[in-house]
Amino acid sequence: MTETSAHIEGTEEAKRALLVVDVQNDFCEGGSLPVEGGREVAARISRLVNSEHSYALVVASRDWHEPESSNAGHFDEWPAHCVQGTPGAEYAPELDTTGVDVHVRKGQGVPAYSAFEGVTDDGRALLDVLREQGITAVDVCGIATDHCVRASALDAAEAGLTVRLLEGLHAGVAPDTVASALEEMRAAGCMEVSP
């Protein structure tokens, strides 16, 4: 499913956004729910965001769970992570967010995997923000390939956006679940491309 960006038809016509999913301390090495390679992925994403790119919009999502709550059972399934106001909920320091145009928070009191379940600081849904900006395509990267990246890519595809997963800019929990997630994203029409 790998193609280079130059070989994708319609790339020039598409108004594209970069969606950086959940690159947070708790999901990187040393966090409460770490994914191996998370910090390296964060650094690679920063290099992309800080380079000359053609993205009309750069969006970053974060899990933002409520303290003193099971978050509707989410913390029964997973260790407590990305709790509002804690260092674990902050972006990983390897991710330079100065080039991020829109920040989305998700999981406030409820389980939420997809960035499309989140809202901006002023309460707008991600899909509404993308539509307001005329975005027709998204490149997805971040953590974890087999959970929140997968859910975000599938929701983007379901919303009618052209979706590409950026090769080398995502990290997953386990090889078997990553393989399954990649297959599910392929089946939904998502392509994996070199950034």
Give catalytic residue positions: 22, 106, 148
Helices (H), the chain: 38-50, 74-77, 126-132, 150-158, 175-187
Would you tell me how many other CB atoms lie within 10 Å of the CB of residue 110? 14
Token duo for residue 166: 């950026």
Length of the chain: 195
C-beta pairs of 116-124 under 8 Å, 24+ apart in sequence:
116/152, 116/155, 116/156, 116/159, 117/155, 118/61, 118/62, 118/64
Q: Which residues pair with 181 in a beta bridge?
A: none
First to last CA, the chain: 14
